[in-house]
A and B are shown apart, each in its own frame.
Chain A
Amino acid sequence: MPDLTELWNAAVDLGVDGDVPPGTPVGTTKLSYALGPEDFGLQG
């Protein structure tokens, strides 16, 4: 089981680099949008 906090922080940190649709807030992930960090280990 991965460290969920570490993975979550890494995902947020990577937000500035993500190739996402124009207008998407920086750092937005499927899991931050839909579920929240507690489910990150489930890979949405």
Chain B
Amino acid sequence: MATEKAILAGGCFWGMQDLIRRRPGVVSTRVGYTGGEVANATYRNHRGHAEAIEISFDPALTSYRDLLEFFFQIHDPTTLNRQGNDIGDSYRSAIFYETDDQKQVAEDTIADVEASGLWPGKVVTEVTAAGPFWEAEPEHQDYLERIPDGYTCHFPRPDWKLPRRSR
């Protein structure tokens, strides 16, 4: 099976991973730090990086666009450097594209989110070329699977769904 990779940041990586790992077509996930300059980033030293998730998915079962639409449903892309009550650029909204195709899909999806008028404001999600991804420590991987009552600020908003396009 040929898989593809997506790297997204939308706030605390615990909640992001817990919802995204359940999606059909998602083969595996891992959380980490990316988008900054610090090498060998860790939880206590990742200044400039965003908390992010790397998703391996089967393109025969889901698409990059589908993943982005879910991404925009479970986090608020309109709050700059903030998600829920968590504040700081660690919690920024960002899409780290791997290919020019992914960049185009990201920009198109953001344009559709903006045009829909369903979200509460202007999208502040960064669209940036993927760089080094520093895997987070084991205690941060699958955190909510191990600690089901643990903290999350992510949840799917019923109204934040893009309408299907007519072909």
Contacts and interface: CB of A to CB of B under 8 A. Distances in A.
* Contact count band on B: 20 to 34
A19 B27 CA distance: 29
A4 to B, nearest CB: 12
Interface residues of A, number: 21
A11 B85 contact: yes
Nearest to B157: A19
Nearest to B153: A20
Main secondary structure of the interface of B (DSSP, over half): loop
A42 to B, nearest CB: 6
B87 A20 contact: no
Interface of B: 12, 14, 43-44, 46-47, 76, 79, 84-91, 150-155
Interface of A: 7, 10-11, 14-15, 18-22, 24, 27-31, 33-34, 42-44
